[in-house]
Amino acid sequence: MNELSLLDSLFGNDGFALPSYREAAFAPKVDVVQKKDSYVLSMDLPGKTEKDVDITLKNDVLTISSVENAKSDSGEKKEKVDDAYYILRERTTRHSQFKRSFTLPKDIDSNKVNATFKNGILSIEIGRKEDSTEKKIAIKSE
């Protein structure tokens, strides 16, 4: 059994892949809801605004990142406080950088994606293709 099949079994083979441990340790928390005709991802981003976040969708991979992270081509920035540098800073998200990527299921409709930001919560709704909805199959007796 390979790692990807193990991850699929954890998520019921819906297609949403787990982030790596390092990515998850420094990333905002996300809820994913499957509706009849869409998926909704909600991410807590206290202290941020819509101008602080970049969202991209390419090859069925949704990436949500801080603008600072998206524009930075160097490694991690060290934040200086007085005469010291933070090694780990989890208690504030105002200056923290993040990047989360999600491999989406094959039934998404990339033409039906909407994002909203309200009260520190980013919500992204991704439409599902019509033929992807579950259908009840009648069983005939002979």
User: What separation in angstroms does the CA of 12 have from each of 54, 77, 124?
Assistant: 29, 37, 21
Is the pLDDT assigned to residue 23 strictly greater than 80? no
For the chain, which domains are there?
19-129 (2.60.40.790)
- Mean per-residue pLDDT for 4-27? 46
Nearest partner of 41 among 104, 92, 107, 132, judged by Cα: 104
- Mean per-residue pLDDT for 84-105? 76
CB contact at 8 A, 50 and 119: no
**Confidence tier at 86 by pLDDT (50, 70, 90):** confident
**Confidence tier at 13 by pLDDT (50, 70, 90):** very low
**Confidence tier at 6 by pLDDT (50, 70, 90):** very low
Please give the Cα distance from 84 to 97 (Å, whole number): 19
Q: Is the dihedral of CA 10, 90, 79, 64 positive or negative?
A: positive
Residues near 71 by beta carbon (within 8 Å), at least 6 away in sequence: none
User: What separation in angstroms does the CA of 92 have from each of 75, 87, 133?
Assistant: 20, 13, 41
